[in-house]
Structure 1
Amino acid sequence: MTVTLTKPDTLRIASASGSVTDRRHGLGELAQDENIHFIVGDWMSEYNMTTRGGAKVKQNQESSEFETSFMESIEPALPSIAARGIKLAVNAGASDTKKLHDVLVQSIADKGLDLKVAWIEGDEVSDLLQQAIQAGEQFTNLTTGQKLSEWEFDPIYAQCYLGAWGIVEAFNQGADIVLCGRVTDASPTIACAAYYYKWSREDFDQMAHAFVAGHFLECSTYVTGGNFSGFKSIPGSGVDIGFPIVEINDNGEFIVTMQNGKHGIVTENTCKAQLLYEIQGPLYYNPDVVAVLDEIIIKQQGHNRVHVSNVKSLKPPPTTKIGITALGGFQAEVHYFLCGLDLEEKAALLERQVRHALDESLYHTLIFRKSGSCAIDPSSQDAATVDLRIFAQSRTEIALALENFFRPCTDTIMQSYPGATFAVDARQGVAKPYYEYFVSIFPQDRMRHICHVPFSKQQITIAPPSDTVPFVYEQPSYETKAPFDLEVFGPTTRAPLGYVVHARSGDKGSDANVGFFVRHADEWEWLRTVLTISKIRSLLGKDDVGNKVFRFELPNIWGKCNISPITNPLFDSDFGLILTAVHFLLKDHLDRGVASSSTYDVLGKNVAEYLRCKYVEIPNKFLSRGRI
């Protein structure tokens, strides 16, 4: 049964997707059952920006240029969207938004529905990039500091992140659905609020709040319990977590809530976790506004309702982020399994044998990585088994042909370690193309930002921002001011950091960010004092290869009051916390990023979980409160 939309006074926006692999039923359920004005969704990532762009350049007939899972999501939702007057803005066009538009319009016509569809052009900038390169302009990699002219790869595709105003114009022209190829993750949410409340392009404080609201929505259920370090406390079985909804006021302040009748939870902690995800510092950049996060207030207002306010703003930058794709070459991998005793020696023997059989000059990447460990007195053979991954990349496909890679890796098995076993499924051992990715910034005033309104035969050019402040490449990094006397907290026990500390991490290019925050007010002084840059390097262990580490704090309300959280441990329940988080940016930590990384954690999401399992000295009184 379709629920009638009653149009509440406060704008309500729901998120139906956070990635190309999100649950496809979300859009249909929200459109049918929730009392909302808009639905937003994101089917894009740095990975499919490279793969879809590369496929388009190579004219790969087996690859669609837009995200087909979006069509699987929206098809069952179209009747409800039409019947209830819900508007939709999505990132799904990838490298051919016009093609997606035509497919969707045909589907709407086949269903006999009356829905107007617009699409946004301008994110594809390969020709503009080449013009700039030929003119001698330099582009600096935001993660490595390398110049594009020094990059060993040849760019084949480039895509920029657009802002919200093309979507706003589409809604102004009467569009029900607006399709984007690559706007920023939060741009659809900003656009919905700006259109609904008729904000101007200079309403920066309002847009900064909507920007943060969009950040909460962009990963769908990450703010309602998905990817949450406190997942064990979430009500329900967790098999059907509800999608998030934001209620935005005309001043930009908003409440985070969620879909009715589902598992999941919205708390200060789930919101703090999502806020910390993928930020690069206290300044959060968007083509239309910069959100200043270091005084944000996040406060519970009821069951599954969290109020967010006090987001400051700066004028937007004259530039926006650009992702540049190059064909890196080809890659393949072989997996062996080691079991029981002497795992290090077994791995070393296999590596010597395989390297002896391979022509290492053929590969620019050749890595042997043992993952896992044998449990003490293991309860099963699986508990005693670990994976050894042999991963290779080469400029040429022939270097990874079966006779040059897979067979030399496996033909040594009869002379190898006791119990030598390789994965018999050889599909990963076959060469496949991979892409390198270079992230920089590009001037907005050179881009062709166009709102296409086919139903009224209009093409409307969207002007770039005129009042701007230059982008800051490196945001402030600092250790904590006035470190606290840790003796005040009393006796300690050596235990995993994650017993008492939440964390969330993510990727931007090859950078990994990770933010830590505590549950109780009196734990904050301990957290900020313990988590120094040197401590993070120590916890990273062998994963610290000496790259830059940036640190900053999202401060708390205690600094504005003459009340100590140590003497008043209930301060957080009396007044609410702002954030109390320590954030680290690990530069170039992910081995070139998701499209080309040789690591398992290509998206940086497990950096936080790795660091939470590392042992530190934790005050006993914190441990007595129970584990996260």
Structure 2
Amino acid sequence: MASRPIRIAGSSGSASDRRHAMAAFAQAYNDDPVDVIIADYMSEGNMAVTGARKVDSASAGPLYSDSNPLSLTAPAFEASFLEALEPALEDLARYKIKVAVNAGAGDTEGLYRIVCDLIKKKGLTIPVAWISGDEVLPAVQNALSSGTSKFKNVYTGEILSDWQFEPIYAQAYLGGLGIAEAFSKGAQIVIAGRVSDASPVIGSAYWYHKWTRDQLHELANAFVAGHLIECSTYITGGNYSGFRQLESAGWDDLGFPIAEISKDGSVVITKQKNSGGTVTVDTCSSQLVYEIQGPYYYNSDVTAVLDGLWFEQVAKDRVALHGVKGAPPPPTTKVGITAKGGSQAEAYYFLTGLHIEDKARMLEAQLRKAMAAYSKDFTMLTFSVIGSAVPDADNQNAATATFRIFAQAKSADALAPKKFLRPIIDNIMQGYPGATFHMDFRQGFPKPFFEYYVALLPQSDVQHKLYFRNEDTTIEPPTVTKIYPERQPSSLGPNISVNMQNFGPTERVPLGTIVNARSGDKGSDCNCGFWVRHADEYTWLRNLLTIDNIKVLLGKEYDTTRRPKIEVERFELYNLKGVHFLFRNLLDRGVNSTSSVDFLGKNCAEFLRNRHVDVPVKFLNRSRL
């Protein structure tokens, strides 16, 4: 079996991904066979929400559901997995394709039981296993009470005892060896909670090739392969700064990816046959720089060293991965701790035509006064203009910007309509010329939000278990680990600087004219990677994108008064022709509680690509993105 590479299909990158891919992969088995279908449903956003649902379903607030979009009592697992699985079951059973998902969220056993019942009702025979151990609040509480850990926040540096919120739920990131054990025991579908995004791929390759824990090179390559396909079509043209190149082939149905992993750890990334999108060095580079936080990439099973990584286009829609090095995993794993943060509300006005900034200043001054009697009980009140009015626009929408009012408070009563929404609405008659508010007031009513705290927990404190055929198997933590520094290596700029005038005449244009980029969130941190296509462009890019220069490009986003303090770390991916940055605390507490509309950090890259810099004309004469 293992004489050929294992083919692992990525069928979902989030709980809101399209749901047809699992069935499409299974149905196409005869023409385009895959051994395992994986799906990633977990994120820091829904970890907090589903965890809170498990503790108190009414507190979690509405989350999208096809059956009831406003349900306050949705399940604590990711129900969208069932929509993907159900139409695939007959073909999964027919072709014995294995499935590994992390859709269990806050109720893995509950999802397991529903899946077993669904299979039984269809008269099929598909063995199902489930994984536990990710729910670790008791372990966190025990370590706190015994004094064995202060649970320092990996993003802000604070310690858990100083956190002003009361933890209600905690989930640790598990590795992939529970999944591997389940497959080796005969399971066909494995349902997990918070295993890491790449763990289903690690576990699948480990099982298929009968690897051992000390094969760090192979594990590291499988880990990076898992990162590459975990976000589904993010590697075939989704969230891709070179997206305009794909229009001629069609944007409407990007194909889902496949990782081919050989016994020696060699990896080739491809995609579904006869599907849209593309797999190129650039699309793979785009996904690689997404969500990493330095040259060391940590998992419970292995650490991947990325600084020498590069890609090779070996055929159309086939890209080989090279240069990954393996190192022991850390003795700890990441743990996300959830707390109820309070309530928040927001409302919008529209500003049209001339003097947008002055209209915004007038409205803000009026609203601050109108809410002065109540805002003392707010923990946050912000006013911001989203977008800008196009000068001399030929239609009214193009001449309109949005003004956003956003508030948070410890209690819902502090944001009751008479204290937040009513003063905003009642201001309209004394407003700026053309004053118009958004008539959908639903976001103006208080709704709960959650705080999310990320720390490290010893892997030995995690009770990682597999449940299959009325037996449970303990998955032991790794015995060989390595302690890594808290901060990853960072450089202010290139080791050897060059005179930028040596590149010849320049034109002041957006950075993104020739530079690709992608960004993403990890808690309150935002990462952003940039890369170019030619060696001389990389020499220029390395010298342009120093830490000092990136702070200038961040503009007002680099707010030196913000607490926790925004910090910038930088490292270079030489073989990828890339420069990567970690913007610590740029996202204001992360997805569940941030005041930013870029709550996932995905638009930071596009903001920076839009900043104007002096680009050598000879680069512009080659081709533009």
Residue of structure 1 equivalent to 2:336: 323
1:590 aligns with 2:604: no
1:335 aligns with one of 335, 348, 351: 348
**Equivalent in the alignment of 2:25:** 30
Q: Runs in 1 of length 4+ with deviation above 3 angstroms?
A: none
**Once the two structures are superposed, what CA deviation does each residue of 1:190-222 show, in whole Å capped at 9, x if it has no partner?**
001000000001111100000000000110001
- The 5-angstrom pairing of residues 3-18 of structure 1 reads 9-18=4-13
What fraction of aligned residue pairs are identical, expressed as a percent?
50
Give the superposition deviation at 1:471.
Answer: 3.7
CA drift of 1:626 comes to: 2.5
Specify which of 426, 429, 432 is matched with residue 441 of structure 2. 426
For 1:464 and 1:11, the matched residues in 2 are separated by 25
Do the aligned residues in 2 keep the contact of 1:318 with 1:471 (CA within 8 Å)?
A: no
Letter in 2 for 1:395: K
Moved more, 65-74 or 126-135: 126-135
Q: Which residue of 1 aligns with 2:573?
A: 554
Listed as ranges, the matches of 1:574-589 within 5 Å are 579-589=576-586
Aligned 1:297-312 pairs, distance under 5 A: 297-312=310-325
Q: Which residue does the alignment assign to 2:39?
A: 41
Instruction: State the aligned residue count.
Output: 599
Q: Determine which of 597, 605, 610 is the counterpart of 2:607.
A: 610
| Candidates 541, 544, 555, aligned match of 1:530 | 544
How far residue 8 of structure 1 moved from its aligned partner, in angstroms, is 8.4
TM-superposed deviation, 1:625: 1.5
Residue 171 of structure 1: which of 178, 183, 187 is its match?
Answer: 183
Q: Which of 88, 100, 109 is the matching residue for 1:89?
A: 100
**Aligned residue in 2 for 1:132:** 143
CA offsets per residue over residues 265-284 of structure 1, 9 Å max, x none? 10111111110000000000
Q: Is the 8 A contact 2:36 2:99 kept in 1?
A: yes
Distance change (3 Å), C-alpha of 1:480 and 1:7: closer
- Corresponding residue to 1:347 among 356, 360, 374: 360
CA deviations on 1:175-194 (whole Å, 9 max, x unpaired) are: 00000101000000000100
What amino acid sits opposite 1:504 in the alignment?
R
Q: Check whether the contact 1:319–1:471 (CA below 8 A) recurs between aligned residues.
A: no
Pair 1:180 & 2:177 matched: no
SS, match of residue 364 in structure 1: strand
Aligned to 1:222: 234
Task: Please report the RMSD computed on the Cα atoms of aligned residues, expressed in angstroms.
Answer: 1.1
Q: CA deviation at 1:309?
A: 2.0
Task: Report SS of the residue matched to 1:133.
Answer: helix
Which letter does structure 1 place at the counterpart of 2:594? S
The match for 2:597 is 600
Q: Which moved more, 1:601-610 or 1:539-548?
A: 539-548
2:533 matched to 1:514?
Answer: no
Matched to 1:94, the amino acid is A
Verify the 8 A CA contact 1:66 1:96 in the aligned structure 2: yes
CA displacement, residues 360-383 of structure 1 (integer Å, 9 cap, x when unaligned): 111001000111111111111101
**Equivalent residue for 1:58?**
56
CA contact (8 A) 1:7 1:35 kept: no
1:243 corresponds, among 241, 256, 272, to: 256
> In the TM superposition, what whole-angstrom CA distance separates every residue of 1:562-598 from its partner, at most 9, and x where no partner exists?
xxxxxxxxxxxxxxxxx11000000000010000111
Q: How far does residue 135 in structure 1 lie from its aligned partner after superposition?
A: 1.9
Separation in 1, partners of 2:57, 2:197: 27
- Residue matched to 2:65: none
Q: Is the 8 A contact 2:545 2:579 kept in 1?
A: yes
| C-alpha contact 2:3 2:263 (8 A) present in aligned 1 | no
Counterpart for residue 486 of structure 1: 500
Query: What SS does structure 2 have at the residue aligned with 1:410?
Result: helix
Aligned amino acid, residue 429 of structure 1: G
How far the C-alpha of 1:236 sits from its partner, in A, is: 1.6
**Equivalent residues in 2 for 1:613-628, closer than 5 Å:** 613-628=610-625
Contact 2:533 2:577 in 1 (8 A): no
Task: Summarize the alignment of residues 73-84 of structure 1 with structure 2, pairs less than 5 Å apart.
Answer: 73-84=84-95
Give distance in 2, aligned partners of 1:215 and 1:377.
45
How far residue 355 of structure 1 moved from its aligned partner, in angstroms, is 1.1
Q: Matched residues in 2 for 1:360 and 1:148: separation?
A: 28
Determine the C-alpha separation between the residues in 2 that align with 1:31 and 1:362. Answer: 55
1:211 aligns with 2:223: yes
| Aligned residue among 457, 460, 471 for 1:442 | 457
The one-letter code matched in structure 1 to 2:571 is: F
Aligned partner (choices 255, 263, 276) of residue 268 of structure 2 = 255
Cα distance in 1 between the residues matched to 2:535 and 2:270: 24
Following superposition, the deviation at residue 521 of structure 1 comes to: 2.1
Unaligned runs of 5+ in 1: 1-5, 557-578
CA distance in structure 2 between the partners assigned to 1:59 and 1:382 by the alignment = 40
Q: Is the 8 A contact 1:506 1:514 kept in 2?
A: yes
Q: Partner of 1:569 in structure 2?
A: none
Provide the C-alpha distance between the structure 1 equivalents of 2:361 and 2:54, rounded to a whole number of angstroms.
42
Residue 95 of structure 2 aligns with an amino acid whose one-letter code is: R
Q: SS at the partner of 1:330?
A: strand
Letter in 2 for 1:83: R
2:418 corresponds in structure 1 to 403
Equivalent-residue separation in structure 2 for 1:472 and 1:220 (angstroms): 32
| Displacement after TM superposition at 1:310 (Å) | 2.2
